[in-house]
């Protein structure tokens, strides 16, 4: 699992099988589903070997030995969303109003996946505006995604969110970032 | 205060009268959480006087290691010098007040102020300054400020700005035994806080957190969403029928003693949500180290203790609460790492990451409550917060500690007794 989160080692050439327009549309859709709290559709994007990681202190250390804001495997993504679905996850009930921008989308390379194929690794910058009773806040940073061809279209195998201020105290992060 | 003038004694009397009026046995006044003048007095009488938790020795294992910390509003550098002695230095150059340390952590034998190049050894002593002829001498008696008293217990480092006063052990009192219980979970009798700290900004007065840590009344309500989804047995520990107790440990410390519940089941590692067969190496190492006592330790699990004013140990995780302003504080949280228990440590990080911090499935909801509480306290009436729950059924245990039921506010009342005595101290 440690190997799976490495960001430089194991990165091969950009695989041919990904269409830039389709990938961008996929990332925009992922962002919109998260903004709108469409948890069912957002959850359906993920592969079974999913990793969803929000580290602290820059790129973060080994997430199995160091604290992270979020380090969810597929099962814990499900738990997190199920908690949100109860409507009593107070950190997100009432829900935040959200809109995020994605930019600087770069195809970074390819990475072997456990299904014998090659995932596309993509980087992008993001800026999210969150409004809730506590106030309005900007969240910004760099996302790294790993995208795979599934039977019914593109799927998300990995998402790492490096917040620009992840070395500072952060307020409650109740929404799906 | 060496000589007490008439004015001083009037002020002391007024202060004493004030806290008597604000803190009753069964209720506390809302202004305690919202009045900036009271916050300023807390800094002076609690944060810059009493023993305050700062960090853990395992964060600075090597000579030269340092890590930036907070103590109240103070920016403190916790260092280990070449003789392995720990220091808590204030991050302020003795020349013009610039910050001499600007990295969060690292290893350095000295700190050099970037403004004019004054250089201090990591024990705080000024060792040099450029162009000494302007001072007519090579030595100046100007060192970094320091927290005058630094002490640790099982590696938990505390500082006190008062040069004299109760020792750390006096301050910890019965809470020391709870730290012993934590350390006993290690087959080597040692813990480390080496997994890094989440920093959770909280727009609420620090006391709302300190009170909540051993409030057994809220979990079923605030955390019902996650208990329901995961089928967690934690909720029943804090039910109306629970045999767990809330204990006022004295000196403002309190605990939720969950051992009666775990003893009922008598299953080793139930407190950690696992079984002995899943972590056989750990269980074997514990039995080798502790012999017959291991069974009891493995059944009873870790402490759930709030150490006044700012250290909270919740079974497998540790919190450090530091104030920022009357309506803001930061919760620092990390997973406990048990020496000699590699099999458990990754699980501890994983469980802890799932539970605490800004996105934690437990603590994000607690924090939402703290912030709504702070907002609610802006309402003009009713002026008071009620802390009477369980007064009708409190008892004194064999050791002389006041004990309430699992959902009673016994811990809060202990907190406020200590708070009042510190705030009224001259």
pLDDT at B5 exceeding the cut of 60 = no
**Is B35 inside any structural domain?**
no
Tell me, yes or no, if A89 comes closer than 8 A to chain B by beta carbon: yes
Structure tokens at A28: 């925009």
Of A26, A52, A46, the closest CA to residue A176 belongs to A52
**The pLDDT of residue B232:** 87
Q: Total structural domains in chain B? A: 2
The answer to whether position B4 is within a domain reads: no
Whether B93 and B104 have beta carbons less than 8 Å apart is answered as: no
Mean pLDDT for B276-284 is 95
**Mean pLDDT on A51-58:** 98
Q: Check B358 against A170: CB less than 8 A apart.
A: yes
pLDDT at B109 over 80: yes
Average pLDDT for B71-86: 98
Which of B338, B199, B57 has its CA nearest to residue B347?
A: B338
> Does an H or E element contain B234, and which?
helix B234-237
Do residues B141 and B211 both lie within one domain? no
Q: Within this chain, do residues B285 and B202 fall inside the same structural domain, yes or no?
A: yes
Domain boundary pick from B106, B129, B147 = B147
Asked whether residue B256 is assigned to any structural domain, the reply reads: yes
Q: Which residues contact B389 (CB under 8 A, 6 or more apart)?
A: B217, B407, B408, B409
| Greater model confidence, A3 or A130 | A130
Question: Which of A1-15, A122-136, B83-97, B341-355 is least confident?
Answer: A1-15
pLDDT value of position B1: 35
Looking at residue B4, what is its pLDDT? Answer: 46
Residue B340 and residue B186: Cα distance in Å, rounded?
Answer: 6
The whole-angstrom distance between B376's CA and the closest CA on chain A is: 12
Residue-level pLDDT at B13:
59
Report the alpha-carbon distance of residue B111 to residue B124 in Å, rounded.
Answer: 9
Q: Is B192 within the bounds of a domain?
A: yes
Is the predicted pLDDT of residue B235 greater than 90, yes or no? no
Q: Domain for residue B277, yes or no?
A: yes
Helix/strand/coil for B374:
helix
- B420 pLDDT above the threshold of 70: yes
* Residue B300 belongs to some domain of the structure: yes
For B144, list phi and psi in degrees, rounded to 5: -65, 145
Peptide linkage before B352 cis (omega within 30 of 0): no
Domain that holds residue B412: 173-424
Do residue B282 and residue B227 come from a single domain? yes
Min Cα distance A7 → chain B (Å) is 21
Q: Do residues B290 and B393 share a domain?
A: yes
For B19, residues 6+ apart whose C-beta sits below 8 A from its C-beta are B420, B423, B424
Residues B83 and B221 in one domain: no
Q: Which residues contact A109 (CB under 8 A, 6 or more apart)?
A: A11, A12, A13, A14, A121
Q: pLDDT averaged over chain A? A: 95
Q: What is the pLDDT of residue B12?
A: 57
Last residue of a domain, one of B112, B147, B182: B147
In chain A, the domains with their CATH numbers are 2-163 (3.10.450.50)
Tell me: do B252 and B346 sit in the same domain: yes
Instruction: Find the mean pLDDT for residues B50-59.
Output: 98
Give the one of B361, B368, B375 whose C-beta lies nearest to A80's C-beta: B361
In chain A the first and final C-alpha atoms are separated, in Å, by: 22
Same domain, B182 and B308: yes
CATH of the domain at B83: 2.102.10.10
> Does the pLDDT at position B68 exceed 70?
yes
Q: Which residues in chain A have their CB less than 8 angstroms from residue B229's CB?
A: 79, 82-83, 86
- Average pLDDT, stretch A58-75? 97
Relative orientation angle of helices B280-290 and B342-355, to the nearest 10 degrees: 110
pLDDT of residue A127 exceeding 80, the answer is yes
Phi first, then psi, for residue B317 (nearest 5°) are -140, 155
Q: Is B390 on the interface with A (CB under 8 A)?
A: no
User: Is B39 within a domain?
Assistant: no
> What is the predicted pLDDT for the residue at B10?
61
Cα separations (Å) of B297 from B31, B288, B300, B395?
43, 13, 5, 26
B399 in the same domain as B255: yes
Give the three-class secondary structure for B39. Answer: helix
Q: How far is A111 from chain B (nearest CA, A)?
A: 25
pTM of the model: 0.95
| Residues B292, B351 within the same domain | yes
CB atoms A171 and B358 under 8 Å: yes
Beta-carbon count within 10 A of A93 CB:
15
Q: How far apart are CA B329 and CA B202, in angstroms?
A: 5
Judged by a CB distance cut-off of 8 A, whether residue A82 touches chain B is yes
- For B105, how many CA atoms within 13 A lie in the half-sphere containing its CB? 16
For chain B, the average pLDDT equals 95
CB-CB under 8 Å, A167 with B196: no
A78 CB within 8 Å of a chain B CB: no
Report d(CA A132, CA A94) in Å as an integer. Answer: 8
More confident residue, B343 or B360: B360
Residues B193 and B291 in one domain: yes
Tokens coding B307: 């150490």
Shared domain for B129 and B258, answered yes or no, is no
- Min distance B221 CA to chain A CA atoms (Å): 9
Partner-chain contact B229 A82, CB within 8 Å: yes
pLDDT at B3: 45
* Residue of B189, B149, B193, B190 whose CA lies nearest to B171: B149
Q: Quick one: pLDDT at residue A3?
A: 42
* Stretch (H or E) spanning B412: helix B410-424
Q: Which residues contact A2 (CB under 8 A, 6 or more apart)?
A: A62, A64
3-state DSSP helix/strand/coil % of chain A, to nearest 5: 25, 45, 35
**For strand B402-405 and strand B395-396, is the pairing parallel, antiparallel, or unpaired?**
antiparallel
| Per-residue model confidence (pLDDT) at position B2 | 41
Residue A83 contacts B where some CB pair is shorter than 8 Å:
yes
The mean pLDDT of A109-114, rounded to a whole number, is: 96
Residue B56 CA to residue B78 CA, distance in Å, equals 9
Q: How far apart are CA B183 and CA B274, in angstroms?
A: 19
| Assembly ipTM | 0.95
Q: What is the mean pLDDT of residues B215-236?
A: 94
- B241 and B183 co-located in one domain: yes
Contact B340, B188 (CB under 8 A): yes
**pLDDT in the model for residue A2:** 41
**Distance between CA atoms of residues A102 and A139, nearest Å:** 12
Structure confidence by residue, pLDDT tens digits, B314-345: 999 999 999 999 999 999 999 999 999 998 99
Q: Choose among A65, A72, A169: nearest Cβ to B330.
A: A169
Domain annotation covers residue B167: no
Q: Give the DSSP per-residue string, A67-102.
A: -EEEEEEHHHHHHHHHHHHTT--GGGSSPPEEEEEE
Q: What is the CATH number of the domain that holds B368?
A: 3.90.380.10
Q: Assess B90–A contact: CB distance below 8 Å, yes or no.
A: no
């Amino acid at each position: 699992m440690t190997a799976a989160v490495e960001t430089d080692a194991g990165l091969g050439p950009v695989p041919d099988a990904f269409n830039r327009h389709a990938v961008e549309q996929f990332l925009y859709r992922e962002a919109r589903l998260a903004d709108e709290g469409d948890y069912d559709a957002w959850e359906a994007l993920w592969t079974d070997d999913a990793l969803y990681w929000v580290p602290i202190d820059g790129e973060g250390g080994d997430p199995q030995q160091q604290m992270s804001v979020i380090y969810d495997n597929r099962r814990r993504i499900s738990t997190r969303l199920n908690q949100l679905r109860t409507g009593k996850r107070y950190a997100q009930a009432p829900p935040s109003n959200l809109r995020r921008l994605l930019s600087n989308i770069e195809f970074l390379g390819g990475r072997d996946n456990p299904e014998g194929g090659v995932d596309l690794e993509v980087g992008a910058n993001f800026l999210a505006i969150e409004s809730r009773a506590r106030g309005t806040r900007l969240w910004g940073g760099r996302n790294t995604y790993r995208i795979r061809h599934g039977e019914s279209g593109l799927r998300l195998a990995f998402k790492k969110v490096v917040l620009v201020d992840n070395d500072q105290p952060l307020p409650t992060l109740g929404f799906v970032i | 205060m060496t000589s007490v003038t008439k004015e001083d004694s009037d002020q002391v009397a007024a202060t004493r009268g004030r806290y008597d009026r604000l803190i009753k046995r069964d209720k506390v006044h809302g202004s305690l959480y919202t009045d900036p003048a009271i916050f300023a007095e807390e800094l002076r009488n609690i944060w810059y006087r009493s023993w305050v938790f700062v960090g853990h020795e395992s964060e600075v294992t090597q000579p030269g290691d340092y890590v930036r910390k907070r103590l109240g509003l103070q920016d403190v550098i916790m260092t280990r010098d070449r003789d392995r002695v720990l220091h808590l230095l204030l991050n302020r150059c003795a020349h013009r007040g610039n910050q001499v340390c600007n990295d969060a952590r690292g290893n350095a034998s000295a700190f050099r102020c970037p403004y004019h190049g004054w250089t201090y050894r990591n024990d705080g002593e000024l060792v040099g300054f450029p162009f000494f002829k302007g001072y007519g001498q090579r030595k100046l008696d100007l060192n970094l400020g320091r927290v005058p008293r630094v002490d640790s217990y099982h590696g938990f480092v505390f500082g006190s700005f008062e040069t004299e006063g109760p020792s750390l052990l006096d301050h910890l009192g019965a809470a020391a035994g709870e730290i012993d219980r934590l350390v006993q979970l290690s087959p080597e009798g040692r813990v480390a806080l080496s997994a890094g700290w989440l920093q959770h900004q909280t727009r609420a007065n620090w006391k709302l957190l300190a009170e909540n840590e051993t409030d057994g009344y809220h979990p079923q309500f605030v955390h019902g969403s996650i208990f329901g989804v995961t089928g967690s047995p934690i909720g029943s520990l804090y039910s109306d029928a629970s045999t767990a107790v809330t204990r006022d440990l004295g000196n403002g410390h309190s605990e939720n003693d969950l051992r009666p519940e775990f003893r009922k089941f008598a299953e080793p590692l139930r407190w950690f949500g696992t079984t002995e067969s899943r972590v056989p190496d750990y269980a074997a190492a514990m039995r080798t180290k502790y012999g017959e006592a291991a069974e009891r330790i493995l059944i009873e699990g870790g402490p759930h203790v709030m150490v006044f004013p700012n250290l909270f140990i919740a079974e497998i995780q540790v919190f450090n609460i530091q104030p920022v302003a009357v309506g803001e504080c930061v919760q620092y949280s990390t997973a406990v790492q048990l020496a000699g228990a590699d099999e458990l440590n990754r699980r501890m990080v994983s469980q802890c990451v799932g539970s605490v911090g800004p996105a934690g499935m437990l603590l994000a909801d607690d924090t939402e409550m703290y912030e709504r509480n702070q907002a609610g306290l802006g309402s003009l009436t009713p002026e008071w917060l009620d802390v009477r729950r369980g007064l009708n059924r409190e008892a004194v245990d064999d050791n002389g500690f006041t004990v309430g039921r699992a959902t009673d506010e016994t811990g809060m009342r202990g907190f406020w007794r200590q708070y009042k005595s510190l705030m009224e101290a001259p």
